[in-house]
Amino acid sequence: MREIEKNMKPKELKAYRTKLFRDAEQWKTPDRIPHYGNIVTWKVFDAGYTIDQAMQNFDIMKETVEVFLSKYPIDVLIDVGIRNQFNVTEAFGMGENGYYYYDKEVVGINDHAYCPVDRLMEYIEDKNKYAWEVALPNKIPDFYDKPMEVWKKTWDEYWKYIMFIFKMNKVTGAYGLASGAPNNPMKGTINFGVEEAESNLLGIKNLSIAARRNFDQLKEFCDAWNEKETKPIIAKILEGEDGPDMKYCFDASLIMLSQNILNPKQFNELYWCYLEPLLKAYEQKGKCPRIFTEGKIDMYADHFADFKKGSLAFHLENDDPWAIREALPNVCIIGGLTTALLGTATPDECVAYTQKLIDELGSEGGFILSEDKMLSYRNDCKAENLKAVCEFVSNYELKK
């Protein structure tokens, strides 16, 4: 880390780091390239623990985050140990009916579905009612037989989880870590009907089938989702203040995954027609959302070509950053580091590649360094490689 940053107090450092992101997004040359840490459970291994140990003990999870932040001067960390709520689902006795699972080496998720296509409209009508009366009894065979003591224990664990979130906010504050993005203006994550269908309601397999066999029902659901969920968010954005919210590095955080299983017609009619007005609202207000483009986005690059510089940032997964820069010279790129590199190369090779990324993609803004995959597995990265990259990028000043 540079001396100037070492001497900053945590709040000052947080504000400075936030500005580095905002400068890069706005295509102004930042003092140095900011590093968005796309690091999830890898840090558990790096701290000397296994996944099950960290998932079953909040103190260990907290320690893994502190060890990580002490070793690596990352500017934003995508996960500060609060992603999984196994203590709550275990208290409820979810067992094999849970969608998430873990062992010593892995946290995983099963493809799952709790809503058939012909009940999607019932779900959107009242999500909580559907969850309580339909989804939970179907997911958990003994849902109606849970004794009150189990419910009370579940509540206690849920409260412990909420307290852990507050505790981790303090930890990250002490390290001057910048905040990624606010919740959406209506509170909660910004999501689209087709993404909700893929991740929860239908699952990947059933969505891909429904997009072909039940297109009209899916379209009706996506329209209803747009009216109920997306349009109120757009209205809030438009009636809010102009310009970036400098408490955060981005003005929103979106995840795109469904584009990978939709054909162009399906993408346009089930996704883009709702996504475009939201992105245009952010553009109109001088704001910049970060979109995690899981899988690939290059096949739909033309859709994003006419957005103003400074209004979009793509966090790339499998796309080539140089190809995206050529196709979309208006979009800030987040990414560049691959797990293949971090997991197998030498520190010198990692640093040389990082310098090439910065010199070719970021010398005039428009580039933020990050890992392509969420670092999750033990072999996703060698500690000495991440250490070398962090030391390099946190000291490599750009010429203005």
Give the footprint of another protein on this chain (CB under 8 A). Answer: 40-41, 85-86, 88-89, 92, 94, 98-100, 106-116, 119, 126, 128-129, 131-140, 144, 148, 151-152, 154-155, 158-159, 161-162, 200, 202-206, 294, 373-376
Question: Strand 313-316 relative to strand 76-77: parallel, antiparallel, unpaired?
Answer: unpaired
Angle at 291 between CA 288 and CA 294, to 5 degrees: 170
**What is the CB neighbour count within 10 angstroms for residue 306?**
9
* CB 47 to another protein: min, Å: 18
What is the DSSP annotation of 338-373?
Answer: -HHHHHHS-HHHHHHHHHHHIIIIIBTB-EEEEESS
* CB 71 to another protein: min, Å: 21
Q: Which is nearer to another protein, 154 or 230 (CB)?
A: 154
* CB 156 to another protein: min, Å: 9
Angle at 248 between CA 252 and CA 339, to 5 degrees: 75
* CB 83 to another protein: min, Å: 9
Q: Which is nearer to another protein, 202 or 281 (CB)?
A: 202
CA 132, CA 120: separation in Å to the nearest integer?
A: 15
* CB 181 to another protein: min, Å: 18
Q: Which is nearer to another protein, 134 or 273 (CB)?
A: 134
* CB 2 to another protein: min, Å: 31
* Contacting residues for 79 by C-beta, under 8 A, at least 6 apart: 39, 40, 41, 374
Q: Which is nearer to another protein, 18 or 85 (CB)?
A: 85
Which has the closest alpha carbon to 168: 80, 83, 85, 84?
80
**What is the CB neighbour count within 10 angstroms for residue 158?**
16
Q: Which is nearer to another protein, 12 or 133 (CB)?
A: 133
Q: Which is nearer to another protein, 24 or 374 (CB)?
A: 374
Angle at 313 between CA 312 and CA 316, to 5 degrees: 140
Angle of the 383-395 helix axis to the 347-357 helix axis, nearest 10: 40
Which has the closest alpha carbon to 32: 391, 317, 291?
391
* CB 64 to another protein: min, Å: 16
Q: Which is nearer to another protein, 205 or 236 (CB)?
A: 205
